[in-house]
Structure 1
Amino acid sequence: MTLSLSNIRKSYTTAEGSIEILKGVDLVVGLGESVALTGESGSGKSTLLHLAGGLDHPDRGSVVMDGQELSDFSERERARYRRTRVGLVFQQFNLIPSLNVAANMSFHAKLADRHDPAWQRTLTERLGLEPYLARYPEQLSGGQQQRVAIGRTLAARPPLILADEPTGNLDEATGDAVLDLMLSLAKNAGSALLLVTHSSRLADRLDRKVVLRGGRIVE
């Protein structure tokens, strides 16, 4: 399984006119590999994750996952790709308010037909969520909601994990534990992990670090 982004260009229209965010990005993330994507704010890191996750379309270039070009997908196929092949951890938690922690944790895994109660119990324990399983999102702190969102993603064992500052709302010890989980899953399940972070300390723990600057990969 390989994620390949080739000559990715993406612009957005603003009141001042069109602004090109990505200016020809090339990036490959391979089987079981973890890659840290770093760079200054506004450099296009989150935009790149959205394109890789099938949440948006590039203006030019190709996004290929396991030999399949995302631009060839119908909207139905794109939705299935997001449901079964990609795990998204973004800064917005997007938990379902009407479901408790346990149900939120299992939601995506059930949609992907990969629900494994034993694996969910392991995630619950390692994320420190056991005391909160019957609570609803509004009853949780921001850090607790972030842990639930991460657990929900990992519960489905996705082939591709896209994470945007996943430890930003967590203390250092919990953040390290979360990263341990992500790296363990990537290695053991052959998942690819592309993680946006501003932390050099966390980036150094991944297999490889790339820097996005001025809309291009510079190293």
Structure 2
Amino acid sequence: MDVFDVLDVQVAAKEGYPRATIDEQQIAEFNAENSVKHAPSTEEMKAYDGLASEASNGAQIPKGGCSGEARMKVYGDSQLPADARMLASRSRGYAMTDSRIKEAIAKWRTCMAESGLQYDSPVVPAHDQRWEKRDAATAASEEERRVAAVDAKCRTQVNLLETYKTVRAGYEAQLLAQEKDNLESAKLEFARWVTNAKSIIAAG
């Protein structure tokens, strides 16, 4: 999911804003598979977090606790010279402050106002408190469907989504070019972390 979702006019008029479908069976299966077999004791949590230097049986707890020791075994002192996730976040931030996006949003706002709707941003209507908590199993209200349809029409009219995609893609290309060498190094470093983690798992 990105800043602006795809919103079809006909679908919006019929169903309102999209809502994620929850698979109760999958959730139940996941919870069963990942249920805690043994809740950690206070002593165990202190050892994990490094809040104690010695266990009750006399065993020495490493500096930083068990979690710190595990991090050192996997990552060592290294950090990624560039993180693709952060670059994606930066490109999104740059796009949202770009004058072309601001202009498109202003036009969208004007379009919405022509139908008597006052929203500051295209991100807001789907999260209107009147229907924000509606789940996929509950039908959208008439007003939600009306707002969603107008929203979709205005997004299309001002070419909001395509403008955003174009602007963001431009920033992504710039960042990738700037960080090319660092990303290559990060790829190698990440592969080393994975190898370390696999070795720990294999050792039991």
**Quick check: which has more Rg, 1 or 2?**
2
Instruction: Check whether TM > 0.5.
Output: no
Give the alignment's TM-score, normalised by structure 2.
0.22
Query: Which structure has the highest helix share of the two?
Result: 2
Give the alignment's TM-score, normalised by structure 1.
0.21
